[in-house]
Amino acid sequence: EIVLTQSPATLSLSPGERATLSCRASQSVSSYLAWYQQKPGQAPRLLIYDASNRATGIPARFSGSGSGTDFTLTISSLEPEDFAVYYCQQRSNWPPVTFGQGTRLEIK
């Protein structure tokens, strides 16, 4: 089973700042990695798929990069609605599909 490790666990930033979230895989997943955003009381929403492609309707301030074992989600300038929990997910070697443990992005 591929383990995804996200860092940091919590990131405290202010609106307007740049956020950089990391996801590391225990073995290569090529580019088969997605990022999801989850706000309190809501279902997760697909942000980025195939490591760097924005899903439909996702603002350009969200970008993904990486391949192999190291991936990054960048939010270029934080908006108030971006404060949420972010999960990475791999589907390279499945079953099982696995998720990272999440990064909580909170307002500083």
Partner 1 sequence: QVQLVQSGSELKKPGASVKVSCKASGYTFTSYAMNWVRQAPGQGLEWMGWINTNTGNPTYAQGFTGRFVFSLDTSVSTAYLQISSLKAEDTAVYYCARNWVVAAKNWFDPWGQGTLVTVSS
Closest distance between partner 1 and the C-beta of residue 102, in Å?
5
Nearest CA to 61 out of 44, 46, 47, 74 is that of 74
Residue type, 51: A
List of residues contacting partner 1 (CB under 8 A): 32, 34, 36, 42-46, 49-50, 53, 55, 87, 89, 91, 95-102
Burial of residue 48 (CB within 10 Å: 0-12, 13-18, 19+) is: buried
- Cβ distance to partner 1 smaller for residue 14 or 42: 42
- Cβ distance to partner 1 smaller for residue 2 or 19: 2
- Cβ distance to partner 1 smaller for residue 83 or 86: 86
Residue 106, helix vs strand vs coil: strand
